[in-house]
């Protein structure tokens, strides 16, 4: 753990890692800018950005997409145009990134735009309605400081500071400056061995099983993988059903064993639906869910990966017994809900204070590949 004398306390104006956050957050800057605002994106993220802008009385000048995607389509009452088309009628725009990507060429294009224009990224959560603005940051100040004081290394503190800087300011360098690859996280922190008992929660099509096998040298004791979406689960079975000592379940994970409603309207990001109205039910299905304490009641867990579309807190609560008992290595997604990046590490610390907690941000715009590694 870092020497307490190395700490830089959060000040009234909030100073993180030597980078001062201005008194105004991104939303307040958009409320007062005289430049036309162009939204880059036409998906669920753009919907959320536009909704939040409407709440705050911010009116965009238009919607843009990449040149090969523009076909004269409409989005939220706007004709989707290329940037060059917008620049024929407006000058000096503020471009708001309103979609997510981890593709290198797309991120490079965004950063290239940022070299020529004012480009910001408005943080909106994947799930839930909380927005990380200055008032939210102030409200959760004590929790953020508490997490900062228990992180295991200086890079984790840099990541925490950078995430807050990015979410408040919308400035891309605050995010890209804290990028790191997965080789470091797996090679220097997790250090997977040849006899892991691995639980993959949110296994998708088997990509994280493949990742596990890569870093464990292809050897393991046992694999259990859960994927709630039936179409994706079929792909998982095609990939891994012949693997020895492997169990695959078309189930979700929760704080207890029960049936819940699964929203399948988001493609890859299938999630447990909070709503029970007819509209949500029309795009949903009943799903059996279990908990970690049930799955590992009679066997040892050594490595747990969790990326469960906003259900991480419930999953951790349902695994508190096994986590405290076995102290498995943890790889937990921290980006689905606004407060996940501080709430989930603090929850794990309360379950098993012996853990060393590491934060790492892998390359993604916005910060949708922020992970906790705990050992």
| Helix, coil or strand: residue 329 | strand
pLDDT tens, 217-264? Answer: 999 999 999 999 999 999 999 999 999 999 999 999 999 999 998 665
Share of the chain above pLDDT 70, in %: 88
Tokens in use for 72?
């004269």
Residue spans per domain, the chain: 26-132, 182-258+289-374
- For residues 127 and 271, give the distance between their C-alpha atoms in angstroms, rounded to a whole number: 9
Share of the chain above pLDDT 90, in %: 86
pTM for the full predicted model: 0.90
For position 264, what pLDDT does the model report? Answer: 56
On the question of pLDDT at 299 being above 80, the answer is yes
pLDDT tens, 145-174? Answer: 999 999 999 999 999 999 999 999 999 999
- For residues 245 and 253, give the distance between their C-alpha atoms in angstroms, rounded to a whole number: 21
Q: Say if residue 44 is exposed, middle or buried (CB neighbours under 10 Å; 0-12, 13-18, 19+).
A: middle
- CATH fold label, 182-258+289-374: Rossmann fold (3.40.50)
> Do the domains 26-132 and 182-258+289-374 sit in the same CATH topology, yes or no?
yes
On the question of pLDDT at 15 being above 60, the answer is no
For position 187, what pLDDT does the model report? Answer: 98
In this prediction, residue 69 has a pLDDT band, given cuts at 50, 70 and 90, of: very high
For position 17, what pLDDT does the model report? Answer: 41
For position 82, what pLDDT does the model report? Answer: 97
Strands of the sheet with 271-272, listed across from one edge: 252-253, 284-290, 258-263, 271-272
What is the CATH code for 26-132?
3.40.50.20
């Amino acid at each position: 753990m870092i020497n307490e004398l190395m700490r830089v306390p959060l000040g009234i104006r909030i100073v993180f890692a030597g980078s001062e956050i201005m008194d105004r957050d991104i939303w307040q800057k958009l409320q007062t800018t005289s430049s036309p605002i162009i939204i880059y994106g036409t998906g669920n993220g753009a919907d959320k950005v536009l909704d939040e802008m409407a709440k705050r009385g911010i009116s965009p000048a238009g919607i843009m997409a990449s040149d090969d995607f523009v076909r004269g389509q409409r989005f939220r009452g706007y004709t989707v145009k290329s940037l060059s088309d917008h620049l024929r009628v407006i000058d000096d725009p503020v471009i708001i990134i309103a979609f997510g990507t981890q593709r290198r060429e797309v991120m490079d294009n965004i950063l290239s735009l940022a070299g020529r224009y004012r480009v910001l990224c408005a943080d909106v959560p994947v799930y839930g309605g909380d927005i990380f603005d200055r008032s939210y940051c102030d409200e959760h100040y004590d929790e953020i400081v508490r997490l900062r004081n228990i992180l295991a290394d200086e890079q984790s503190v840099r990541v925490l500071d950078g995430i807050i800087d990015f979410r408040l300011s919308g400035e891309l360098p605050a995010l890209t400056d804290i990028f790191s690859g997965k080789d470091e996280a797996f090679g220097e922190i997790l250090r997977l061995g040849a006899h892991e008992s691995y639980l993959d929660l949110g296994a998708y099509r088997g990509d994280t099983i493949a990742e596990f096998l890569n870093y464990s040298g292809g050897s393991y004791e046992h694999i259990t993988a859960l994927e709630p979406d039936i179409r994706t689960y079929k792909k998982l079975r095609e990939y891994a059903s012949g693997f020895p000592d492997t169990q695959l379940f078309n189930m979700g994970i929760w704080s207890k064993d029960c049936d819940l409603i699964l929203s399948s309207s988001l493609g890859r990001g299938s999630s447990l639906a909070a709503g029970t109205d007819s509209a949500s039910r029309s795009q949903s299905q009943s799903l059996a869910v279990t908990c970690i304490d049930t799955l590992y009641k009679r066997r040892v867990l050594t490595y747990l990966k969790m990326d469960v579309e906003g259900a991480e807190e419930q999953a951790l609560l349902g695994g508190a017994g096994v986590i405290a008992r076995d102290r498995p290595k943890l790889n937990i997604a921290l980006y689905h809900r606004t407060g996940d990046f501080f709430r989930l590490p603090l929850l794990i610390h309360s379950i098993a204070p012996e853990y060393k907690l590491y934060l790492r941000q892998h390359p993604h715009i916005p910060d949708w590949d922020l992970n906790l590694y705990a050992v």
